[in-house]
Structure 1
Amino acid sequence: MKKFYITTAIDYVNDTIHLGHIFQKVVADVLARYRRIRLGDTNVFFLTGTDEYGQRVEKAAKEAGIPTKEFARKIAASDKVQQDSLNISYDKFIETTDDDHTKVAQEIWKRVEAGGDIYLGKYEGLYCEGCEAFYTEKDLTFGKCPFHPTLEVKRVTEENYFFKWSKYKDFLTDYLQKNPDFVVPEARRKEMLAFAKDIKDIPVSRTNFSWGIPVTEHPGHVMYVWFDALTNYLTGVGFLENPKLFEKFWPADAHILGKDNARWHVLLWPAILKSAGIELPKTILVNGFLSLNGQKMSKSIGNVIRPTEWVEKYGADAVRYYLLRYTTLTEDSDISEEKLIQAYNSDLANGLGNLVARVARLCENE
């Protein structure tokens, strides 16, 4: 029986999502709706949601003066409002603070550690709080994170448990070479092949803060947010909780995510799955960034437009049409309210609207 399981990146809850995040949700929604027509509603599963753990969330909650979980749930609820405003037809909206996800993340940790792929060590190096990612000097652009140039890259020293990522370097390189459709577009696949050459073991636990899924076997350690967050794709279709659902829909047919998340999904996620003895997803589709009036939209910069702002003015269908018609999925695209208005008037009101009006008049004359 044919099925289709599609996911988007889950959004970090340090702040409410903006149009740059919603773009991939609209794309995934269109694909899910099309597949439902072809395969039937019960044979399609569309997962989206929120990534609610990590140092940046803990910091944002403290700044807001709100308990961390309450803060995370508040932003998650706001994110759902944004998605619902554009009629995103997800089958499940996952939150990584849900109990079922905690169990899944801890189970994957156990499997990976049982396979000898986790060991205790000490990390000394660079860390970007914006990405929640560890970097080397050569990863930086003029000493800054390439995705968060306004944030300081900090040097940290910390006791961590490490994942033997380097053990899977040859496997990942071979897999990317033999499966050209695993990463779309081709330019991203080549980029990931280049990154694979420099894979080093990576910390998968943190001890400098407490807002994370506990590593039950190692008190004082919480899971590194990327290890926890990636396993949401398993949780979403019932891994542990609903074996029949999981058997039906896994592996995922398509992960859709931004280019800033590509390295973790293309290189770290398959390595974790391989270590845990779980089949890899079929395709990872990497979308470009949206800029607003020539500047990349970013929560850290503060130049963002919430989907509801445009939906309230122009309607959900007009915003969806504009995002799909006037952007390039796998490359960066620039959007603006002026361009939306122009598309609305020329394409929808004048073009489609006039066509409908003429057909209606012809029908009346008949």
Structure 2
Amino acid sequence: MRTQVGIIGGGPAGLLLSRMLAAQGVDSVVLENRSRSYVEARVRAGILEQHSVQTLTDLGLGERLHREGMEHHGIHLQFPGTKHHLDFPALCGRTVWIYGQTEVVKDLVAAQLDGGPPLLFEVTDVQPEDVDGDSPRIRFTDSDGVPHVLECDVIAGTDGFHGVSRPIVAQAGGRTWERTYPFSWLGILADVAPSTDDLVYAWHPDGFAMHSMRSPSVSRLYVQVDNDDSVDNWSDDRIWEALATRMAHPGWELRTGPISQKSITPMRSFVSAPMRRGRLFLAGDAAHIVPPTGAKGLNLAVADVTVLATALVRLLQEKETDLVDAYSDTALARVWRCTHFSWWMTSMLHRSGDDFDAELALSQLRRVCTSEAAARELAENYTGLPIG
């Protein structure tokens, strides 16, 4: 087998990169070790920055997003005695959209299988080789047990933190940075109409709570829990009671309904540099992870592959190496800005440490709610900074 770009990982980063390259005349093959049904069922992020929405729209993937997604014009910040709305268009002229990563992946898979570049599910034994030369290859076994060698000009590792690509880059040196937070999120999907117009981020002495949504009839909610907690400790009644307590505000009532899904998500930050080794380039979770508080994970992957696609087209069509040589530094500049924002939101909104830490968090929340400059800084970061 032969292609220009071998893409390891059929999540949003890999599929979007393939779509971007195809739009500019560059061939690719996407290899995914999971089944199509598994990939399309993974519940992940749900907030798209304006740039991400525009990117998907420009690639012909925005029809269902604009029909079924929900445009949001701000968020509510809440702490005892205060509920403050940040108006994003007024602060920075941008909005965000609620559209689950599962839906983005479904759209990307459908487009890929409808005449797009090859997308192979349930491959095994994936191994990049000769990434330091000009003719790398990927060995893999297809879903029928047949071994293959995919000859490439370039390999893109979009296979996440636990994939095969990141360790190969790390073997050549570089650095990693990691922060594990002393709390997790218990997240639920509930079959009930949202109780709010825009998302609510609530600080409470008992711990953080958040109200989001997936559709006009499905709510997505979170409560802060300990890292060693288990969903088995949280009955439906206990979850709703905790949410009602932590999000209580005069004149507002939390709607409850059947809970269809429960899961606990650890909170961590991780950055690996560089994001390249020879002809192997990392993008998305293969290179960095952020806590979900700032809604940056999926959007960072979109930003990575936007920069990477432009660089690869220049390399493969014009034989110029300037953009691929700059790729890691260019991408990491935005990664670190978003990592800082995610850390800042996480530190401000969660109950951790002693009462001194609590007063610092409340002081920062009051600052954002009373200073237009501070509110604008949050809005600009939340809705998405420029790419590149």
Query: Which TM-score band applies after superposition, normalised by the shorter structure?
Result: under 0.3
Q: Which has the higher strand share?
A: 2
TM-score for the superposition, normalised by structure 2: 0.27
TM-score for the superposition, normalised by structure 1: 0.28
